[in-house]
Amino acid sequence: MSGTLVLVRHGQSEWNLKNLFTGWRDVDLTPLGHEEAQEAGRKLAARGLKFDIAFTSALIRAQKTCQYILDAVGQHELATVRDQALNERDYGDLSGLNKDDARAKWGEEQVHVWRRSYAVAPPGGESLRDTGARVWPYYMHTIQPHVLRGETVLVAAHGNSLRALIMALEGLSGDEVVKLELATGVPMIYRLNQDSTLASKEILEG
């Protein structure tokens, strides 16, 4: 067995609460989101996990979640790499819109396709496949080498950037990955073999 990769979707954001398409818009955590991120850290601390390096996106909701986790495990000064390769999917013209308003404007079916298909992008935005096109090489070249050296790595990011990453880790199809739901602030612990295949997965729910 090689290393450990811990993935955490950021805690609830202000726009999650308001049912708005967020994407690359830089919105903060809600009070519940702060709580969820702190609880994620407590769960990981209870497992005795210590990290060698952390990665997060260029967006504050993921960065704060990352910092709460590091604080909880007693590693508040750990080296942390921020990169927009891990940003949420860009929703383009949908960004900032209420999801119900978007349905009223473009129709229920069209908005559903934009949200839940693998390869269809909203106007001016990214599909999940487009998101993967920046997440996968970043993971392969920048994150995975640490894991394969036997390190324990934290990635605090977003629903869709993590979906793309999990797609690669678990070998999911496009149809399978769009059905994958990731709760906010719930750590997922992946242990990898030295050939980069998946040895085990554990979700710290409840």
pLDDT tens figures, 143-153: 999 999 999 99
Q: Which of 88, 126, 146, 158 is catalytic?
A: 88
pLDDT tens figures, 154-198: 999 999 999 999 999 999 999 999 899 999 999 999 999 999 999
Q: Which of 10, 36, 39, 126 is catalytic?
A: 10
Q: What CATH code is carried by the domain that includes residue 52?
A: 3.40.50.1240
Catalytic site includes residue 112: no
Domain that holds residue 79: 4-151+158-203
Say what the pTM is. Answer: 0.96
Q: What is the spatial distance between Cα 135 and Cα 42, in angstroms, rounded to a whole number?
A: 27
pLDDT tens figures, 43-81: 999 999 999 999 999 999 999 999 999 999 999 999 999
In this structure, what token pair is assigned to residue 141?
Answer: 């070249």
Catalytic site includes residue 88: yes
**CA angle centred on 93, ends 81 and 33, rounded to 5°:** 45
Residue 1 clears pLDDT 70, i.e. is over it:
no
The CB density around residue 146, as the number of other CB atoms within 10 Å, is 18
Give me the number of domains the chain comprises.
1
